[in-house]
Amino acid sequence: MSKLFPSLACLLLVIVLTGASSFLHAETIFTPIDQLIQSPKSYIDKFVSVSGYYSAWKNAPGSPPVSRSDWVLCDDHKNAIYCTGIIPQNPETGAPETYWKPITLLARVRLANDKPYLEVAEIKTLTATNEKMVSVAQILFSPVEMQQQYVSLLGVLAKGYGVKGERMYLIADPTGAIKLGRLPKLYPKGTILHVRGFVCNDENGLPMLDKIEIVSVKLD
């Protein structure tokens, strides 16, 4: 009987390690937000890993399920789900993360008024680096499809005035010009810039590029 114990212990160890390996592997598989919305009862009280964008209190799918501090997570297609508990914060300042910051989270799925929401246990903020190079015309001619996409533009810095006479910066390429949000550093007109940022609308509902990061600069 004593000879059986080492073999049994080894067998149990293999089973435990196999189960742990499967669990760790499962954690790397993200559950799409639209899947949670369409089949919430399949996930109730289960932990899921979800990736998306911090949408603060915009694009809200109805009323907050738990408190007024509940915030919204969106995917690329604006499918939205409420989150409660931990709020994404800038690790350096402690302030809430910037709008549309890419994040991943581990959360338990809950249900309120027949709608799912996420009870967040862990959050990880990501650096968006997989932007796609586009032309100004692609944004201007498809403003809805391009909304909130993280893109890269190469063009010449220009200055102009808005509809209310306010001074603004633009980036122009052979296909057109588009307004820029606040630049991290100012350059003279005519500077060739490679920038990246998020497509959004300004206060007049016109397309613009915001949350600007300057990739490279070429001065005349």
> What does each C-alpha distance from 20 to 17, 27, 30, 102, 196 come to in angstroms?
5, 11, 18, 28, 41
Predicted local confidence at residue 110, as pLDDT: 97
* Residue listed under structure tokens 């809200």: 60
% residues pLDDT > 90 (the chain): 49
Q: Domains plus CATH for the chain?
A: 27-125 (2.40.50.200), 132-218 (2.40.50.140)
d(CA 49, CA 104): 7
d(CA 178, CA 195): 12
Strand, helix or coil for residue 160: strand
Q: Which amino acid is located at 53 in the chain?
A: Y
Strand, helix or coil for residue 4: helix
> What does each C-alpha distance from 91 to 37, 52, 96, 97, 130 come to in angstroms?
30, 18, 9, 9, 22
Give the mean pLDDT of 79-88.
94
Residue 45 binned pLDDT confidence (cut-offs 50, 70, 90): very high
Mean pLDDT check: name the lowest of 46-50, 105-109, 154-158, 183-187: 183-187
